[in-house]
Amino acid sequence: MLDKFREAISLFSSNISLFSRIILTIWLPGNIIINYLDYYVFYGGDFIGLMRANMWIECIFGPIYIGALIYALSRLKQYQMVTYTEAITAGFRNWGRLWWARFVAGLFVTLGFIALIVPGILLAIRYALIDSVVTLEGADASESRKRSSELTAGKRWQIFGAYVLFFLAFSIFSFMAYVPVGVMIELGFIGQLSSMIICIVMDCILDIIYAIIIIVMFLFYWGSKDDGQQLDDELQLRTTFD
C-alpha cells in the first residue's frame, strides 16, 4: 500500500502541470460557483446547500476529469507522451459511460449504507476500480462492477487502508490550511472579496491534491490487471504444453 502512495506521489509531482490543468478544467469554474453561492447567495449560512452544490458538480462533471486523469496515467505507465488535449478529449469521450457506471454503483453503495454501514463500505471497496475499468476497458455499468470486484479480490484490505490513510491526512491538511484563513476573516484582516478569492485558490489546491487517491486507485487497477494477465499467460502456456 505504501509503495502505491510513493509511486502515486512520484507520478503526481512529475506531472503536476498536466494533472492540474485537467482537474481545474472542472474545478476552477466549479469552485468559483460554490464560493459565490457561499458568499453572495447563502451568506455562509447554508452548509447543506453548499454540500449539495458540490455534490452536483462532482456527480455531473467529475467523470470528465477523472476519465482524463486515468487516460493520462495509462499512457504515462506505458512510457508514452500525453497532452492535455488528448487526455481531456478522452475524458469527454468516456463521460457518458463513466457517469452511468458511477451512478449505478453509487446507488448500490448507498443502499448498502442504508441497510447497514458495513455492506456499504464493502461495496464501495469492491467498486473502487470502476473508473479505470470503464475508461480503459470500455466496460458498461454491469461489466465494470463485476470486473472491479474481480480486480479488487485479495487487495480489499489494502484499498480500504489506502482510503483511510489518505482521507485522514487530507482532512488534517485541509483543517490546517483553512484555519488561518478563517482567523484572518474573523479578525477583519481581509475583506469579503479577498477572502472569497483566497478560498477559491485553497479549494483548487485541495482538489489538485485529491488526485493522489485517484492515482493510487489507478495503480491498484494497473497492478491487478498485470497480475491477471500474467496468470492468464501462465495458464495458456500450461494448456499448450499439456
Report the pLDDT averaged over residues 22-50.
86
What mean pLDDT, rounded, does the chain reach?
86
What pLDDT score was predicted for residue 194? Answer: 74
Mean pLDDT comparison of 107-121, 129-143, 228-242, highest-scoring range: 129-143
pLDDT per residue as tens digits for the range 205-236: 999 999 999 999 999 999 987 665 543 443 34
Domain span including residue 49: 2-241
What pLDDT score was predicted for residue 150? Answer: 92
Count of domains for the chain = 1
Q: Where does 78-210 have alpha helices with state H?
A: 84-93, 95-115, 117-126, 130-137, 141-152, 156-186, 192-209
Report the pLDDT averaged over residues 45-69.
89
How many whole angstroms separate alpha carbon 99 and alpha carbon 57?
Answer: 12
How many whole angstroms separate alpha carbon 9 and alpha carbon 165?
Answer: 14
Name the helix (H) or strand (E) containing 81: none
Say what percent of the chain tops pLDDT 70: 86
